[in-house]
Amino acid sequence: MSRMIFVNLPVKDLARSVDFFGALGFEFNPQFTDENATYMIINDQAAVMLLVEEFYSTFTHKQIADASQVSEVLVGVSAESREAVDEFVATATAKGATEAGEPMDMGMMYQRAFHDLDGHKWEIIWMDPTATG
């Protein structure tokens, strides 16, 4: 059975987050989008639900982590090439993200990371398809 995954992330300003992730090339499903949340399409089997913090808090009894201060998740997204990794991170930082650490070049894998507008860490990864077999 193929399973879908839905990553739920709290955001302070939904419109600003939609603008940010839209500039990175992501699309949104309007059927599951309103003033409280949006369904950001990663692919046919993966999505990120961006939820306004007040709405997010209705799904948990725990305090919402301030992702600018603590680590609560690392979201990894693949890229088609090393150049695509660099372009993705350059676009993210141009739209207000902050780069997280130095690029990691392991030959068969290349990775860069950034913190989005709410502090969530995103790792953009290219893996050499001939090395993964």
Model pLDDT for residues 39-74, shown as the tens digit of each residue: 999 999 999 999 999 999 999 999 999 998 999 899
Q: Which CATH number does the domain 1-57 belong to among 3.40.50.1460, 3.40.920.10, 3.10.180.10, 3.40.50.1220?
A: 3.10.180.10
Instruction: Quote the DSSP letter at residue 132.
Output: -
Q: For a pLDDT cut of 70, what percent of the chain falls above it?
A: 98
Q: Which CATH number does the domain 71-133 belong to among 3.40.50.970, 3.40.225.10, 3.10.180.10, 3.90.1570.10?
A: 3.10.180.10
pLDDT band at residue 130, thresholds of 50, 70 and 90?
confident
Inter-CA distances, 108 with 44, 111, 119, 126, 128, Å: 26, 10, 28, 8, 5
Predicted structure pTM score: 0.88
How many CA atoms lie less than 13 Å away from 64 in the CB half-sphere?
20
Q: What confidence score (pLDDT) does residue 133 get?
A: 59
Torsion angles phi and psi, residue 98, rounded to 5: -120, 135
Same CATH fold, 71-133 and 1-57? Answer: yes
Q: Cα 82 from chain centroid?
A: 18
